Amino acid sequence: MSVVSHVLKARWALLLVACGPTPAPTPAPTATPTATPTANADPVAPEPPPPPVRKDGTIYAEAYQMGTRFSINLWVGEQSPAAAGVAIEAALAEIERIEQIMSEWRPSSELSQLNNAAGQASRLLSPELFEVLQRSKMICDATDGAFDPTFYGVGQLWHFEPGAVPPTREAVAAKLSLVDWRAIELDPNTLRGRLARPGMKVGLGAIAKGYGVDRASQVLKEHGFMHHIVEGGGDTYVSGTKAGAPWRVGIQRPDGPGSIAAIPASDRAIVTSGGYQRFIEVDGKRYAHIIDPRTGWPLDESSSAQSITVLADDATDADAYATAVAVMGPEKGLAYVEAHPPLEAVIVTRSGEVLVSRDLAPLLIWPSDAPPVGDAAAKQPAAPAPDPAATPFSPR
């Protein structure tokens, strides 16, 4: 049994969402004699029950992967709950597979091996890692380096747990020359790639999670389940509908529990990024955990957004663009989004304003005491009433 299977069995037992095929019906007795089991025969384990279907017609499961909580909310419809359980387990196993390829924290991962070989000859890459690196370079170019996975060369100097000591300015300056997305060399004809400069390092924490969400959604579709939500630490992909109606995804309040608004969505990615949970203090000034790859320093909390929610066609792009918009800052970030459809955004500023891109504003579902829908710069409202179809974000 795989690690994911063990995790799922334990987690789903707590959630009353046990995964497994429906037990076969007991055949009618016949006159054919059966062999008497020997004393040494291993007992046959009973088949686990299928995952129960909730009152709203969905099956829910979650597991801890990529350093965060992943969840799947799947509309069953007329299909078999047992088949849904198999599909969910396969989707979460796919996330585990992607993590083993793209984690900079696992020494055995393919990405770690690429980092260790920086400055050396090119090496054959898996299709998955090649795709994510290629898409990363495209977004780096499109955002003028506001998103850059080679930030990790300097980013590894920073730690944001309580009591962490910041690096010296000299140490940051010494590593900053290693940050340059153009030095990721890829050959699409051979799927080979390398990091051109010795000491370079790539960190895919701002794009791989979205890619894992997309891959999990694709696996669910391959199993015949087109209607679902996959969410991992604030990265969400919404596929199809729930009983024919759009799913609703809540935008979490950065200052506490609850949602500031809900987004009706179908076949769309919605990713929230924010620096309000992890930070470091340097010389009396607080910095958020998102690193500006152009300076090597975390974002100044006083001028950065509390949270950024970005909508895109897939979670891979939405994940990376959410980081880029955070680095750009609220006003420039919103202007960038509005100039680059199909991106949309909701940005909560440090003062509590909620900035909404113009095409998304009419679609948001606000609480009754909020300003009229369509107001692109509304003061942050109270959370809307709970909705059984809503899936609140979890900040990164």
Cis ω before 46 (30° cut-off from 0)? no
Please tell me whether residues 333 and 270 are part of one structural domain.
Answer: yes
The answer as to whether 124 is a domain residue is yes
Please tell me whether residues 396 and 374 are part of one structural domain.
Answer: yes
Please tell me whether residues 297 and 369 are part of one structural domain.
Answer: yes
Please tell me whether residues 393 and 282 are part of one structural domain.
Answer: yes
Least confident among 163-167, 237-241, 359-363, 371-375: 371-375
Measured distance CA(70)–CA(47) in Å, rounded:
26
Please tell me whether residues 287 and 364 are part of one structural domain.
Answer: yes
Measured distance CA(218)–CA(65) in Å, rounded:
18
Quote the pLDDT of residue 286.
83
Element (H, E) at 96: helix 81-102
Measured distance CA(215)–CA(221) in Å, rounded:
10
Measured distance CA(99)–CA(219) in Å, rounded:
15
Contact 362, 373 (CB under 8 A): yes
Band the pLDDT of 257: cuts 50, 70, 90: confident
Contact 362, 344 (CB under 8 A): no
Band the pLDDT of 279: cuts 50, 70, 90: confident
Quote the pLDDT of residue 241.
97
Tokens of 33: 């004699």
Structural domain count, the chain? 3
- Residue 132 predicted with pLDDT over 90: yes
**Which residues are within 8 A (CB) of 174 and not within 5 positions of it... i.e. 6 or more apart?**
none
The CATH number assigned to the domain holding 304 equals 3.10.520.10
Task: Give the pLDDT confidence of 52-62 residue by residue, as tens digits.
Answer: 999 999 999 99
Crossing angle of helices 208-222 and 127-142, rounded to 10° = 130
Contact 343, 332 (CB under 8 A): no
Measured distance CA(17)–CA(24) in Å, rounded:
19
Crossing angle of helices 330-338 and 315-328, rounded to 10° = 140
Band the pLDDT of 19: cuts 50, 70, 90: very low
Tokens of 294: 């152009």
Please tell me whether residues 70 and 219 are part of one structural domain.
Answer: yes
Gyration radius (Cα) of the chain, Å: 23
- What is residue 291's three-state secondary structure? strand
The answer as to whether 366 is a domain residue is yes
- Residue 158 predicted with pLDDT over 50: yes
Residue 73: give the domain boundaries. Answer: 3-22+46-102+215-230
Please tell me whether residues 74 and 112 are part of one structural domain.
Answer: no
Please tell me whether residues 186 and 277 are part of one structural domain.
Answer: no
- Find where tokens 């090496």 sit: 123
Quote the percentage of the chain above a pLDDT of 90.
71
The answer as to whether 236 is a domain residue is no
Question: What is the separation of C-alpha 52 from the centre of its chain, rounded to a whole number of angstroms?
Answer: 26
The CATH number assigned to the domain holding 166 equals 1.10.3980.10
Tokens of 332: 């420039």
Please tell me whether residues 75 and 219 are part of one structural domain.
Answer: yes
Task: Give the pLDDT confidence of 201-231 residue by residue, as tens digits.
Answer: 999 999 999 999 999 999 999 999 999 999 9
- What is residue 274's three-state secondary structure? coil
Please tell me whether residues 273 and 358 are part of one structural domain.
Answer: yes
Measured distance CA(33)–CA(54) in Å, rounded:
43
Contact 306, 349 (CB under 8 A): yes
What is the DSSP secondary-structure string of 323-366?
HHHHHH-HHHHHHHHHTSTT-EEEEE-TTSEEEE-TTTGGG-B-
Please tell me whether residues 95 and 111 are part of one structural domain.
Answer: no
For the chain, the average pLDDT equals 85
Contact 71, 65 (CB under 8 A): no
The answer as to whether 210 is a domain residue is no
**Which residues are within 8 A (CB) of 57 and not within 5 positions of it... i.e. 6 or more apart?**
75, 76, 77, 242, 243
The answer as to whether 16 is a domain residue is yes
Please tell me whether residues 265 and 355 are part of one structural domain.
Answer: yes
Mean pLDDT of 82-98: 98
